[in-house]
Amino acid sequence: MASLQKDGHHVCGGTLVNEDFVLSSADCFSSSATASDWTVVLGRLKQNGSNPFEVKLNVTDITLSNHTGSNEAALHLATPAPLSDSILPICVDTGRNFSVGSTCWVAGWSSGAGGVEQVLQEFQTSVVDCEDTSSDSICTEALTLEQGFSGGPLMCRQDGSWFLAGVLVADDKLTTGTSEVQAKSLDVLWLLIFKPQR
């Protein structure tokens, strides 16, 4: 899990997809898509408090998706993320199917959760049928999430590994919790950029 920060304050979540890239929501960059305005913090558990395993990395480039229906933003890190037990990339496989009923998790930080220290929150949910939503979305059971979760992962465990199923979308559903959480499915062309070379 990554904390995307502007001026030293958490704005959105993100997900490390390999040592050089973090994937988030394009909506997080409506105020600024200038790379030098942003920092990525990895290995952080608390927004307020001690984090002995965290690493702060600069961003050299932000690429916003221009594919129809896509909502991804790719942040290119200035230096490779130092991988450890606290900092690991998530698996990405665009051929995976996260069918209705699949158990998944969302994670993120917000001022209204996690107490004074704003500890990273994780919530279990299940994939549900998206009624009235485009085919590039994944919907889950209703959860009460706040804006700080935007850009964070919808992740599902399959075959013993965690896979990124989608990127949480910043909209009223995240702030009200009155209907399904919506995440944009990952774009096949986009993810070819992020797959590690073998």
| Span 4-31, pLDDT tens digits | 999 889 999 999 999 999 999 888 898 8
Q: Which amino acid is at 197?
A: Q
pLDDT at 140: 83
Considering only the C-alpha atoms of the chain, give the largest distance between any 2 of them, rounded to a whole number of Å: 44
187, pLDDT greater than 60? no
Taking all residues of the chain, what is their mean pLDDT, rounded to a whole number?
80
Pairing of strands 2-6, 38-42: antiparallel
Q: Which amino acid is at 55?
A: V
Short-list 173, 164, 171, 118, CA closest to 5: 118
44, pLDDT greater than 80? yes
Short-list 140, 68, 69, CA closest to 99: 140
Residues 91 and 164 sit within 8 Å (Cβ to Cβ): yes
Q: Which of 65-69, 176-180, 186-190 shows the lowest mean pLDDT across its residues?
A: 176-180
Number of Cβ atoms within 10 Å of the Cβ of 57 = 21
66, pLDDT greater than 80? no
pLDDT band at residue 134, thresholds of 50, 70 and 90?
low
Q: Is the alpha carbon torsion for 12, 15, 69, 156 positive or negative?
A: negative
pLDDT band at residue 132, thresholds of 50, 70 and 90?
low
pLDDT at 177: 42
From residue 131, how far is each of 41, 139, 180 by CA, in Å? Answer: 36, 9, 10
198, pLDDT greater than 90? no
pLDDT at 112: 65
